[in-house]
Structure 1
Amino acid sequence: MTEHIEGQQWRVRLNRDRVLQAAVSLADEGGIDELSMRRLGQELGVVPMALYKHVANKEELLDGMVEAIVAEIDPAVGGADWKNAVRLRVLSARAVLQRHRWARQVLESRTNQTPTVLGYIDSFIAMFLAGGFSVDLTHHVMHAMGSRIWGFTQELFDDPAGPGGGAPVEMAPEAQAAVFEEMAARYPNILQVAAAASHDEGSVVGRGCDDQFEFEFALDLLLDGFERLHRQGWTSRQAKKHHRNGS
């Protein structure tokens, strides 16, 4: 990467942020599997070895890319009630991951929690504690939230054209009817539930489930449940006692 000033060619000085932003852009364009130190060096106009002054290896590069996208997530809303604050933060994270479709795969592959990731989780916990939740309830709430704090979750009816999937297979009407007939005979309940999804003709989802709606539906159910337990003064000790007693 160079700049031309008064007929002279000046090399732009690399720094870690420039390297990470270039890596994010490349992954946005071609997917994470196409990203390599060699390809990144070409994009920046340097030899791959020059990159190692800023990131030690590919894993550190991926960690840095996660840092870059976490920085795009809106901070917690000050002064808002805990439920609204959590909801807005989760949906902001989801919007970021939709801009960077490779990010989910990278987040799921991280084995080391970087300071940025730990800071994000810590700030997420803080929203519940600030809302008056006990540490005990907050612990179990975070388990229930799982990957939803990052704006995604593994869905039962994943769309094959969704993140990481290929294009949906186009079928002739006759073949599609035959598939439905076989499904109805073998798995009638699955077919009944799957066929319940309906969308406007102009929907960007087109066919299948509306991922955004389903995500927010599940998120709201969780938040409502957390609120109920909080008001009841729920504790894991009491809950375990009830389970042991079969009540």
Structure 2
Amino acid sequence: MPTSETHPDAGVQAVPDADANAVEGLPPPSAREPLSRERIVEAAIAFIDEHGLPGLTMRRLGNELGVEAMALYRYVPGKEDLLDAVVEELIEGMRRDVDVLDAPRDGWQDFLIRLAHGVRRVALEHPKAFPLVASRPTEAPWLRPPLRSLAWVEVFLSGLLAEGFTEEAAVASYRAYTSVLLGNLLLEVSNHGADVGPLDVLDDMSGDDAALRDYPQVRRLRSALSEDRAAAEFEESLEALLDRMTLLRNEHLDG
């Protein structure tokens, strides 16, 4: 279990990262196992975890599994279907998370905090694959990442409605919740090597003092600016989001 540490530059105590132990990925399946759709999807996730999404091809995946690429098409029609299956498996992983609930048990805030950390654990376990959750087509075009399935949106809405949210407040909360969660997690996985497009330009410039010569404030605060505060920022954003959702709930109840 991660422990609190004091950053030498910040002078404040960092928030323990309860999800940090999820960064390590799963080992690839044994080559002795029979080929199946499930095994192919697991191997694809393991390949992305190790090599990154841009390097994934059916031929390379076949090599990892010890078969010709054509053998894979019996189970997955093509790469696009494979990527959709990867997203399904990542999201389904939350159902195997014992801390994530299907319905509120100790109030709606506890329910949503558990769900948020469940999504974050998936992102940290598979940071290079997680951007697929934001980019792949969904079951319905209006579904918002990172809750990419009708089943999870149903869980979310049902949970809030059962806790006294009006339909309008539940929908508004769904929009706010998904926006904050996705934004924070895409930024975080980009620091773990994920290919997230423009976010990949993030750089602490620690080895380029010349580039900072004309920027004294940036140079002076460089250490603090480059500090990894992802865990603390996630908690702070989540807390602010829950406060906003409380206001939404009360406004619609008062109306």
- Fold similarity call, TM over 0.5: yes
1:219 to 225, 235, 238: 238
The equivalences for 1:141-156 within 5 A come to 141-148=173-180, 152-153=184-185
* Residue 170, structure 1, aligned to residue 206, structure 2: yes
| CA shift digits 1:110-160 (9 cap, x unpaired) | 1232797221222222221221111111111111122445684566x9987
| CA shift digits 1:187-233 (9 cap, x unpaired) | xxxx6xx94984xxxxxxx9335122112211111111211332343
1:97 to 101, 117, 123: 123
Q: Name the Cα RMSD after superposition.
A: 3.4
User: Runs of 5+ in structure 1 lacking a partner?
Assistant: 4-11, 185-190, 199-205, 239-247
* Equivalent-residue separation in structure 1 for 2:66 and 2:192 (angstroms): 34
* Residue 81, structure 1, aligned to residue 81, structure 2: no
* Equivalent-residue separation in structure 2 for 1:145 and 1:207 (angstroms): 27
2:156 to 114, 118, 124: 124
Contact 1:91/1:151 (8 A) holds in 2? no
Matched positions, count = 210
* Equivalent-residue separation in structure 2 for 1:82 and 1:131 (angstroms): 6
* Equivalent-residue separation in structure 2 for 1:110 and 1:178 (angstroms): 42
* Equivalent-residue separation in structure 1 for 2:39 and 2:155 (angstroms): 26
Partner residue, 1:67: 88
Distance 1:180 1:208, change over 3 A: farther
The worse-fitting range, judged by mean Cα deviation, of 89-98 and 77-86 is: 77-86
* Residue 231, structure 1, aligned to residue 250, structure 2: yes
Identity of aligned residues (%): 27
Amino acid at match of 1:84: D
Contact 1:26/1:35 (8 A) holds in 2? yes
Greater Rg by CA? 1
Partner residue, 1:244: none
Partner residue, 2:63: 42
Contact 1:76/1:127 (8 A) holds in 2? no
* Equivalent-residue separation in structure 2 for 1:208 and 1:53 (angstroms): 47
